[in-house]
């Protein structure tokens, strides 16, 4: 029972109002109340248990996922849950499932790319789950390069139909979640061909399976692509393979909000701006950034609670050993991740505002901020998912050997999360898109066109190229304007240096390929600046609650100064700071770790995660870790018998030296 005392004692150290911090983390009191209610609802329902997930066979795991999804839908209907409540319910069920793609990709694709008539036809069916959809874009041979997709949709003017076909093995759709065994329909991306002319990639609604017996329709070959990384993990999802053999669909099943094919086979650009489709992309990516904060905060919660319970070395005169969290080496690895979780949360909340702003502007035919919003969301998706994947693995290491147990919750969390670095845009490819935007921004600086949004600082590039950091003492690094200027100067100077080096190449594309590593680093610097600046902006708000704002200031400074320490080469090579100022930043960072230490448990309690959602013995709320680990070990199927299966066949002959003819 030692752990209970540890956690209770830690919670009494809190220097801020934890309940108010929960609301800040959630974004509003309303969101907190809905989230809290749905979290408790899921935790109290036996159907949603998941402590045995890593021990199930693939078939049993998948069937159990179907059972949970059906039960969730039943509860949504019975309780008449709102869209927001249903979303939180699925979040806390915490199991990758076909419903993720139905609600997260299939429905938004129809809303974003379908005409009013198409939305009226398909969305009611999707909302009632009378059809189940997925998003079939990625192919065996092409992922990031969407324009290289090979699936074709050829218009037959005689029958007024499109013929969907997979002309090569590499044109097989490969990876779409929900496709393998469940989806009845898909938004399929294929090359539109009319009269022998290729009009690029467009979306088509295609029925895949019978609504009567669920068998694939004629011309369709479909199945699951097989086991994926980790126990449990993402294997609850039926990622699929799909091939078409001249499958015919009606002409009106092409998503035609932006681009249309007439009965005669003529291609017509509609009066709806093509840029509208980017609104959906911004929505999806802001969701991914929010998911990053959830996954990282979950790992940090587990590692922080266990770091308080775990004691190693340092015993004096027979007294207790030192709590692992009190070692500076533990703090220097853990607290930056804690700060990152909060930073990603706030930039995710800002992205929700950005999505609303972009949507309103698009509806008013104002596309001025779209390129910047597109680059911003692409970069933040890349930055936050990479940092989160690395952070989850670091949290596993912070938990020592026990972190490697499935019962720690960390191996499965890692296995479920890492695909985020690839889906919805490979992270390096996305950073190169950001870099292209930055190079274009730099090239236009002399034209009088002012940069907007997150690149507005580039408008002061002349000053940023010459400014000198004013830090003389360690505490000077606590000044938000000093931090911001250092990050702005670093980003601006790295982008300008890349632009200058690019200008030396006769062929700009050759230059871009040659300098791609430098360009990625410039893009990272820009994206880190965005996160730092949005954290600082958050602190300008009226934040209620005793000590809440003070704790957020500490976390903001930890996040910024840790990045400065980690990327000190950038700051020094661009002459943004001096070696002495870098040393002072490290000195201040050590002081900030000491200030965060008494509040560590309270700061992760503010995430308001139930033990069910955390699914971790190491991260359990009461801290009673060791008895629970011991009890869990005996529940493993391998311990169902004292003498293992195979003893008589393999172990006994070896012990009795009866393997005389064995060739070892």
3-class DSSP state of 614: helix
Return all residues near 504 (Cβ < 8 A) that are at least 6 apart: 511
What's 96's DSSP letter? -
Query: 443-473: string of b/e by CB count within 10 Å (b at 16+)?
Result: eebeeeeebeebbebbeebeebeeeebebee
Whole-angstrom CA distances from 116 to 130, 252, 270, 284, 468 are: 20, 12, 13, 21, 56
* Angle at the Cα of 592 from the Cα atoms of 587 and 594, rounded to 5 degrees: 100
Asked if 570 and 525 touch (Cβ cutoff 8 Å), the reply is: yes
Sign of the C-alpha dihedral computed for residues 282, 285, 290 and 291 taken in this order: positive
Whole-angstrom CA distances from 27 to 31, 181, 534 are: 7, 37, 14
Helices of type H across 407-453:
410-417, 427-443
424: annotated active-site residue? yes
Query: 353-385: string of b/e by CB count within 10 Å (b at 16+)?
Result: ebbeebeebbeeeebebbbbbbbbbbbbbbbbb
What tokens appear for 281 in the block? Answer: 């992309």
What tokens appear for 100 in the block? Answer: 């993720």
Asked if 174 and 136 touch (Cβ cutoff 8 Å), the reply is: no
What tokens appear for 277 in the block? Answer: 């489709």
Looking up tokens 């419903």, which residue turns up?
99
Q: How far apart (Å, rounded) are the C-alpha atoms in residues 537 and 530?
A: 10
Q: Residue 69, class by beta-carbon neighbours within 10 Å (0-12 exposed, 13-18 middle, 19+ buried)? A: buried
Asked if 284 and 104 touch (Cβ cutoff 8 Å), the reply is: yes
Q: Which of 139, 412, 424, 488 is catalytic?
A: 424
Asked if 65 and 236 touch (Cβ cutoff 8 Å), the reply is: yes
Return all residues near 624 (Cβ < 8 A) that are at least 6 apart: 1, 3, 4
Query: 530-559: string of b/e by CB count within 10 Å (b at 16+)?
Result: bbbbbbbebeeeebebebbbebbbbbbbbb
Looking up tokens 């009673």, which residue turns up?
624
Q: HSE-up of 314 (CA within 13 Å, CB side)?
A: 11
3-class DSSP state of 198: strand
Of 236, 205, 237, 190, nearest in space to 106 by CA = 205
Of 290, 413, 323, nearest in space to 600 by CA = 323
Range 310-318 contact pairs with CB under 8 angstroms and sequence separation of 24 or more? 310/399, 310/400, 310/625
Asked if 431 and 523 touch (Cβ cutoff 8 Å), the reply is: yes
Known catalytic residues?
424
């Amino acid at each position: 029972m030692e752990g209970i005392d540890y956690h209770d004692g830690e919670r009494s150290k809190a220097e801020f109002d934890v309940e108010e911090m929960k609301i800040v983390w959630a974004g509003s009191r309303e969101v907190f109340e809905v989230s809290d209610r749905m979290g408790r609802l899921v935790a109290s329902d036996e159907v949603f248990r998941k402590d045995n997930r890593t021990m199930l066979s693939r078939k049993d795991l998948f069937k159990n996922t179907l059972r949970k999804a059906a039960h969730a839908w039943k509860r949504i209907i019975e309780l008449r849950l709102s869209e927001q409540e249903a979303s939180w319910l699925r979040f806390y069920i915490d199991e990758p499932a076909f419903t993720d793609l139905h609600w997260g990709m299939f429905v938004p694709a129809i809303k974003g790319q379908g005409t009013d008539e198409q939305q009226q036809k398909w969305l009611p069916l999707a909302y009632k789950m009378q059809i189940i959809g997925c998003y079939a874009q990625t192919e065996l041979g092409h992922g990031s390069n969407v324009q290289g997709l090979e699936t074709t949709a050829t218009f037959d003017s005689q029958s007024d139909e499109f013929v969907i076909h997979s002309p090569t093995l590499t044109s097989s759709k490969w990876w779409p979640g929900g496709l393998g065994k469940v989806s009845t329909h898909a938004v399929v991306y294929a090359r539109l061909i009319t009269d022998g002319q290729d009009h690029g990639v467009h979306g088509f609604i295609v029925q895949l399976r019978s609504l009567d017996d669920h068998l694939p329709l004629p011309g369709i070959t479909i199945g699951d692509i097989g086991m994926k990384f980790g126990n449990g993990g993402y294997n609850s999802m039926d990622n699929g393979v799909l091939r078409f053999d001249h499958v015919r669909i009606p002409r009106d099943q092409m998503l035609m909000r932006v681009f249309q094919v007439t009965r005669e086979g003529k291609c017509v650009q509609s009066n709806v701006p093509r840029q509208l489709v980017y609104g959906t992309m911004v929505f999806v990516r802001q969701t991914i950034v929010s998911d990053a904060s959830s996954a990282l905060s979950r790992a940090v919660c587990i590692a922080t609670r266990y770091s308080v319970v775990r004691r190693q070395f340092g015993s004096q005169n027979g007294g207790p050993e030192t709590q692992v969290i009190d070692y500076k080496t533990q703090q220097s690895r853990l607290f930056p991740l804690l700060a990152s979780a909060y930073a990603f949360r706030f930039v995710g909340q800002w992205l929700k505002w950005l999505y609303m702003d972009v949507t309103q502007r698009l509806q008013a035919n104002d596309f001025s901020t779209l390129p910047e919003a597109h680059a911003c969301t692409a970069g933040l998706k890349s930055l936050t998912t990479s940092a989160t994947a690395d952070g989850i693995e670091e949290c596993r290491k912070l938990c020592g050997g026990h972190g490697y147990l499935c019962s720690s919750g960390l191996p499965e969390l890692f296995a479920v999360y890492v695909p985020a670095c690839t889906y919805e845009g490979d992270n390096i490819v996305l950073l190169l898109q950001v870099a292209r935007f930055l190079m274009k921004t730099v090239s236009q600086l002399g034209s009088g066109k002012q940069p907007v949004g997150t690149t507005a600082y580039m408008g002061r590039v002349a000053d940023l190229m010459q400014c000198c950091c004013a830090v003389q003492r360690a505490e000077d690094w606590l000044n938000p304007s000093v931090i911001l200027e250092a990050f702005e100067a670093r980003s601006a100077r790295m982008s300008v240096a890349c632009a200058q080096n690019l200008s030396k190449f006769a062929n700009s594309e050759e230059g871009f390929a040659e300098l791609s590593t430098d360009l990625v680093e410039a893009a990272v610097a820009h994206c880190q600046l965005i996160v730092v600046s949005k954290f600082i902006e958050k602190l300008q708000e009226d934040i209620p609650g005793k000590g809440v704002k003070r704790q957020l200031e500490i976390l903001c400074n930890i996040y910024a100064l840790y990045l400065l320490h980690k990327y000190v080469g950038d700051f020094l090579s661009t002459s943004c700071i001096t070696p002495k100022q870098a040393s002072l930043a490290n000195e201040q960072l050590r002081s900030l770790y000491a200030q965060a230490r008494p509040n560590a448990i309270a700061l992760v309690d503010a995430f308001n995660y139930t033990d069910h959602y955390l699914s971790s013995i190491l991260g359990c709320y009461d801290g009673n870790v060791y008895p629970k680990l011991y009890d869990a070990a005996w529940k493993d199927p391998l311990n169902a018998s004292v003498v293992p299966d195979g003893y008589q066949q393999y172990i006994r002959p070896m012990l009795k030296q009866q393997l005389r003819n064995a060739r070892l």
